[in-house]
Amino acid sequence: MTAPAAVSAPRSEGSVAAKGAVFIGFAKLYFMLSGFVQQVLLTRFVGAAEFGAFGVVNNVISIVNNTVVQATIQAVSKYTAEDDARAGAVQRAGVRMQAVLGTALAMAIFFGAPLIAKFEEAPRYTSYFRIAAAIPFLYSLYAVFVGSANGLRRFRTQAGFDVGFSTSKTILLLGLALLWKVTGAFVGFAAAAAIILVVASRVMALPAGDQRFPMRRLSAYMSAVVAYGLLLNVALNYDQPLLHHFAGKVAGPAVAAVAAGHYQALRTLALLPYQALIVVTFVIFPLVSRSTFAEDREATRVYVTQTLRYALLLVALMGIVLAARPAALLAIIYKPAYGEGAAAMPVLVAGECCLALLGVVCAILNAAGRTRATVSIVALTVAVGAGAAAVLVPHARVGAPMLRAAATATALGMASGFVVSIVYVRARLGGSPPAATVGRVAAGVAAGLLVAHLMPGHGKIAGLAAILVAAAAYLVVLVAAGELGPADRAKLARILRR
């Protein structure tokens, strides 16, 4: 392949990627904000112990839900993007496969609910797990239709699904939580999943035609992605249920539920960078899939380098906002009791920022077909984090020290996985965040945190002002150092005009 052809892919696909970033970016921002609203308002509707119970069950179910959704979307999108003509056949194979998988997952959770609740030292959670068992079945089927939309580059349709589901989930989860507390929250969650499945199956129903796509091929690829996704979501969600488990053994289920509620409040904020970068994985996946399928190494390198550069710039900005004045931020958003986790907040934010970037790198590697590598990298992340948690958390006092221990263990695992992923993607695909960008971002983060530390006052207003000044200092450093220049502003303007 000639050099001009090698560099043409980023240009020819640029308009699609830009529009996809706008549509899915808005939808993911809406999804992130609505999820944030759900968690924050739920702390007002139920007590800390009930919020902790909801968090434990929701995090365990999220391991299954997120694994199924991510793996299904990537598998269906990959084979759809490689050849649009077979989109209907791929979708039909996906529906058959997910009907079986979804049923198996729902039954496993329903009948295994007593065992999970026993591990959490909270038998009363059994009924919550059984209600939530319906959600993975519904998600399994829904994800097939989202994968079809993503593979066909119908980003506007995909964004519409996200917005519609987020809206219905917020209304139903919170509305029913007002009536029946934790039970009502999970009934509302399941109802919202059923509604979006019906909508997506009608909007994205594709004619299969005479072409057939072997379900075995789809399931073979997905099995490796499932292994990666499962480990990634364990890394994303294990810390709060594990904290509940250890706290329950040390101080009993009542104290454990409160501690879990306080930690869940921290996670709600710390996970915002991860949720924000999900948009990057949806946009980059079909583009890298096409470039690697065509063996276009230069196009792949450009996609990887630019994606990781912008991801790093964004995640660092969000990290500063969340970690600059944690006590003030928690006081603004939650009831006073949740301020117990202020000391753990910066540590957990740093870890979740690493996980956000790790998720982007792994999506790139999956799109390139290197699924074994992603499984190994995330397995390392889980092993380091879980091992650290087993050492640190049980020996910490219940309260702020235990929250800080859990955050530290989580951050150690996520940082380890991210460093290894960057080394691997550079060696295999040739792209990585530019060294100059890494240095400038580090300088900007240091400047922002230093400014926030030096500013006087510790109340809500003073804290909010310090957060804004810290973010501004970060951006000033980037502009002054030449990291954000006219080319970036021109690119942003072009995207907004589309």
Both structure tokens of 365: 């590697």
Cα–Cα dist 71/94, whole Å: 11
pLDDT at 164: 96
Rg (CA), the chain: 22
- Asked whether residue 402 carries a pLDDT value surpassing 50, the answer given is yes
CA angle 125, 272, 307 (to 5 degrees): 130
How confident is the model over 97-139, as pLDDT tens digits?
999 999 999 999 999 999 999 999 999 999 999 999 999 999 9
Confidence band for 415, pLDDT divided at 50, 70 and 90: very high
How confident is the model over 171-180, as pLDDT tens digits?
999 999 999 9
Strands (E), 12-51: none
Give the range with max mean pLDDT: 58-62, 244-248, 486-490, 493-497.
Answer: 58-62
Cα–Cα dist 368/82, whole Å: 12
* Residue showing tokens 């999956």: 366
Cα–Cα dist 407/344, whole Å: 6
Q: Which of 24-38, 95-109, 266-280, 292-306 has the lowest mean pLDDT?
A: 292-306
CB contact at 8 A, 152 and 87 = yes
Position 258 in a domain: yes
pLDDT at 6: 39
pLDDT at 53: 97
- Asked whether residue 11 carries a pLDDT value surpassing 50, the answer given is no
pLDDT at 493: 59
- Three-state SS sequence of 291-329: HHHCCCHHHHHHHHHHHHHHHHHHHHHHHHHHHCCHHHH
Cα–Cα dist 441/483, whole Å: 9
Position 227 in a domain: yes
Confidence band for 227, pLDDT divided at 50, 70 and 90: confident
> In this structure, how many other beta carbons lie within 10 angstroms of the beta carbon of residue 4?
7
Q: Which positions ≥6 away from 73 have C-beta within 8 Å?
A: 143, 146, 147, 150, 282
Position 477 in a domain: no
Write the Ramachandran bin of 432: left for phi over 0, alpha for psi from -120 to 50, otherwise beta.
Answer: beta
How confident is the model over 321-342, as pLDDT tens digits?
999 999 999 999 999 999 999 9
Task: Give CA separation, 426 vs 370, 416, 422, 441, in Å.
Answer: 13, 16, 6, 19
Position 298 in a domain: yes
Cα–Cα dist 476/149, whole Å: 39
User: For residue 336, with 0-12 CB atoms within 10 Å meaning exposed, 13-18 middle and 19 or more buried, which class applies?
Assistant: exposed
Q: What is the percent of the chain where pLDDT is above 90?
A: 62
Taking residues 74-85, report their average pLDDT: 89
* Residue showing tokens 């996985």: 417
Domain housing 90:
3-433
pLDDT at 340: 94
Q: What DSSP assignment string belongs to 409-465?
A: HHHHHHHHHHHHHHHHHHHHHS----HHHHHHHHHHHHHHHHHHHHS---SHHHHHH
How confident is the model over 443-459, as pLDDT tens digits?
999 999 999 999 988 88
Confidence band for 384, pLDDT divided at 50, 70 and 90: very high
Position 16 in a domain: yes
Position 218 in a domain: yes
Cα–Cα dist 259/407, whole Å: 13
- Asked whether residue 8 carries a pLDDT value surpassing 80, the answer given is no
How confident is the model over 458-491, as pLDDT tens digits?
889 999 999 999 999 999 999 999 988 777 766 6
> In this structure, how many other beta carbons lie within 10 angstroms of the beta carbon of residue 425?
24
Cα–Cα dist 273/275, whole Å: 5
Q: Which positions ≥6 away from 169 have C-beta within 8 Å?
A: 34, 38, 188, 189, 192, 193
pLDDT at 3: 38
User: For residue 382, with 0-12 CB atoms within 10 Å meaning exposed, 13-18 middle and 19 or more buried, which class applies?
Assistant: buried
Total domains in the fold of the chain: 1
Which helix (H) or strand (E) segment holds residue 128: the answer is: helix 126-132
Residue 263 corresponds to which amino acid? Y
Using DSSP's 3-state secondary structure scheme, residue 278 falls into helix
Both structure tokens of 36: 């944030």
Both structure tokens of 280: 């990057």
Position 228 in a domain: yes
